[in-house]
Chains A and B, each alone.
Chain A
Amino acid sequence: MLVDYRKRDTYLHKTSPKVLLLGTLLVIVASILWTHPLYCGVMLGLLVILGKVAKFPWSQIKWFFKIIIIPVIFIMIIQAFSLDTSLLHSHYKEVILFYLLPGERLGFNLGGLLYGLAASMKIYMVVLAVAILGYTVSPSDFIQMISRLRFASRQFVFIFSTAWRFIPIIQKQIRHLLDAQKTRGMELDKGKLIERVRKLIPIVTPLLSNSLETGDQIALSMEARAFGAKTKNKFIKPMQYSLRDRLTNYLLLVALVLLIYAYTLGYGVL
């Protein structure tokens, strides 16, 4: 999980998880359909504003944006040199900024560059939307949402919720084992990539044994707390679904239909 859920008193946190899920779906659909950087830029801007409204902890996701910046630039350059411009409708596909090789070979195409830019922005869009969703919707609300679905059996909800609980525990164990190595003189951040990977090998066995132990303990503690005692769990948290949520939901549905319709008319396409 990129950013953990935090209970905050913001507009987004008060919004129904169902609405937020629909909003995220809208962003994902847009990221699949759109190829125009302007459209992606506007969506990205909107997400940043929503993030600000939700008091999103930007510092927690900064590292991710930083590490993907190199692949993102790489994508843009590759697209600028190699994109099949017949896929584009815009006049930018005709614009060659420069040629890498003499004899007008291997042209750096503006259309390809913009296409690559849109592709990169789409990565940021999806990551940010999912991160905001994870930050504003509590995992148990997700689980409650799933448990309301007709197809979701108790086992399915159990597997989902346990896996969700397990992730931070494993993350913490990895952190502790790495810290333990550092405090014992191991320079984990120095050396070549292969060397650094090799230094991680000693933590595999303890991580595995600790995880099995933790899994065992979780199973035991769940059993001690009556898991499986009753076939029907009546603890269904009443989902708050205000008029505002209802209206927002309709608005998002309309936006989704419009987005798809506009796409068929060529909007959002480079």
Chain B
Amino acid sequence: MTVEEDLAFGPANLGLSYEEVMRRVERSYTDLKISELKDRKPFELSGGQKQSVSIGGVYAMLPKIIVFDEPTSMLDPIGKERVFSIVKDINKQYGITIVLVEHEMSEIVKHADKVIVMNKGQVYLQGSVEEVFSQVGKLQELGLEIPQSIELSMRLKEDHYIDKVLLTPAQVIEACSGFQPKTPAAAAAPAPAVKQAAAAGDGREPMREPIIEVSHLRHSYLGDHDDLKDVNLTINKGEFVAIIGQNGAGKTTLARHIIGLLKPDAGAITVNGRAIADRSVAELSREVGYVFQNPDEQIFTDSVEDELRFGPRNLNKGSEYTDGIVEEVLQDIGLHKYREVWPKYLSKGERQRLAMGSIITMEPDVVIVDEPTTGQDWRETLWIMDLLRKLNQKGKTIIIITHNMEIVTRYCNRVLVMSQGELILDGTPKEIFTRRDKLKEAYLRPTDITYIAQNIAFMPDDIISVDEFYQVFREMVG
């Protein structure tokens, strides 16, 4: 079954004629901009592409109410924007009521008419966006993400720069643009504080000793086009690297080559100075750990503890070592109470932690985590990312594949940007997020705080955190 046929499934079940079904299908893939996928098979698509197709399938049915359950959790930033704009369009144009279940607060503030906050099966807060987001303390209590625009405007309000909390980046830009920098010269160059903060993460300088070297890597799944095109890169020991890019850009394909799950059509990869071509995945797993995008694809034993023991046992690490590391990791991932529990009974966040724990117990030098925070709430996201930071502080090299630009700026000291199988940018978060043209090419956009700074004439382009914005703003405006 192709994507086109999948989109036709719902309307066809409604008993519509062939012509009407095809008219709706065409509108669906045109509006969602997935025309190029119509002849592909849904199960072959990347996670984000699948999500677009599933939205298209429901959209083609034109119901009166559509419930979206985290429709964009696996999409790249521009893809997210596009989906939200489609959702908004179908709401306004066709009068379809939209119920959106979402963790991304920054999108909610831009689009929702009414917000309902749930906690432990009950309605905790409800009202307009303004009413709900004015109760920031209560939201923080629940561990919910506070959009950067709101966080910043709260700080500005506290110091009386503005008189009320603003919700969207557009409102913050408008308010801040009304201020004048103290001197015209101040506007010309980035503030010293900005220059000093060259890297995100915890500020430690990684070693300059290569651990992974990729040269002239090429790969094609179907043989008709290259999914990876001549990728060259070196990752050093102790780096915390983010690989970002649009859905289908080749991020996971690259990662699966590094662990040996895919074999290159051309080019070579070395890990710790040794070529991996003739080494099995199992052998490589001593040095490179890989956490799958979907934890359910990775977890297969009957209990949490067994899952953690599986790797060290295969690597013949010995029972004393295994007992010790399993206990340590059970504490680290916060699942010590559930050691006997069947992993299927855990929540998604807990399963993600377990999947990571099952790799950590093998103590590889490099840990690659594919989409570590997809579908997780903000509290769980920070939990997982802090765990990775701890590993990084112990000297492990961390590579994450993500669409969440905020965690990139908070945790990573290096960013690789992929687009259509090519590595198009490589640098620190500050360097990367100023390259607006290239980011657009890769269907990416910076975080809201960077976007706000870039749209205020006197602010530097490379602001990546609320703290930094606020500090620079105060120095400039006085």
Contacts and interface: CB of A to CB of B under 8 A. Distances in A.
A182 interface: yes
**Interface core residue of B8, B15, B289 (most chain A CB under 10 Å):** B15
Contact of A202 (B17, B61, B301, B311): B301
Given A182-B280, A183-B259, A176 B14 contact: no
Nearest to B38: A7
B8 A235 contact: yes
B5 A140 contact: yes
A180 B18 contact: no
A185 B297 contact: no
Nearest to A169: B43
Contacts of A188: 282
Contacts of A173: 297
Given A185-B362, A238-B18, A226 B13 contact: yes
Contact of B297 (A165, A180, A227): A180
B1 A182 contact: no
A203 interface: yes
A182 to B, nearest CB: 4
A202 B344 CA distance: 15
Interface stretch (A25-33, A39-47, A205-213): A205-213
A182 B13 contact: no
Interface in B434-457: none
Nearest to B262: A179
A7 B289 CA distance: 37
A189 B280 contact: yes
Contacts of A165: 1
A231 B283 CA distance: 56
B13 A227 contact: yes
A6 B223 CA distance: 12
Contacts of A215: none
A185 B315 contact: yes
Contacts of A226: 10, 13-14, 61
A206 B300 contact: yes
B250 to A, nearest CB: 18
Interface in A193-218: 202-203, 205-206, 209-210
Given A182-B281, A183-B261, A184-B285, A172 B43 contact: yes
Interface in B299-319: 299-302, 310-311, 314-315
Interface string A128-161: 0000000000111000000000000000000001
Given A140-B2, A185-B311, A225 B61 contact: yes
Nearest to B14: A226
B15 A233 contact: yes
Interface residues of A, number: 52
A205 B301 CA distance: 8
Interface residues of B, number: 50
A180 B292 contact: yes
A66 interface: no
Contacts of A221: 54
A120 to B, nearest CB: 28
Given A140-B5, A177-B297, A179-B281, A185 B286 contact: yes
B18 A168 contact: no
Nearest to B13: A226
Contacts of B298: 176, 180, 183
B57 interface: yes
Given A184-B311, A225-B57, A4 B41 contact: yes
A57 B285 contact: no
B86 interface: no
B299 A206 contact: yes
A192 B290 CA distance: 27
**Interface core residue of A140, A183, A206, A238 (most chain B CB under 10 Å):** A183
B300 A182 contact: no
Nearest to A7: B39
A232 interface: yes
B13 A230 contact: yes
B1 A140 contact: yes
Contact of B13 (A179, A229, A238): A229
B341 interface: no
Contacts of B1: 138-140, 161, 164-165
Contacts of A181: 300
Interface in A56-76: 57, 59
A244 interface: no
Interface string B58-83: 10010000000000000000000000
Contacts of B289: 183
B144 interface: no
A268 B17 CA distance: 49
A103 interface: no
A211 to B, nearest CB: 12
Contacts of B285: 182-185
A224 B55 CA distance: 12
A130 to B, nearest CB: 19
B383 interface: no
A102 interface: no
B160 to A, nearest CB: 51
B282 A185 contact: yes
Contacts of A7: 2, 39
Given A168-B41, A183-B289, A210 B310 contact: no
Contacts of A101: none
A180 B300 contact: yes
A73 to B, nearest CB: 29
Contact of A187 (B9, B11, B61, B280): B280
Contacts of A179: 261, 281, 292
A225 B292 CA distance: 29
B328 interface: no
A183 B300 contact: no
Contacts of A59: 223
6 contacts: A7-B39, A182-B280, A187-B283, A210-B296, A221-B54, A227-B9
5 closest Cβ contacts across the A-B interface? Answer: A185-B314, A235-B12, A230-B15, A225-B10, A182-B281
Interface of B: 1-2, 5, 8-18, 21, 39, 41, 43, 54, 57-58, 61, 222-223, 259, 261, 280-283, 285-286, 289-290, 292, 296-302, 310-311, 314-315, 344, 358-359, 362
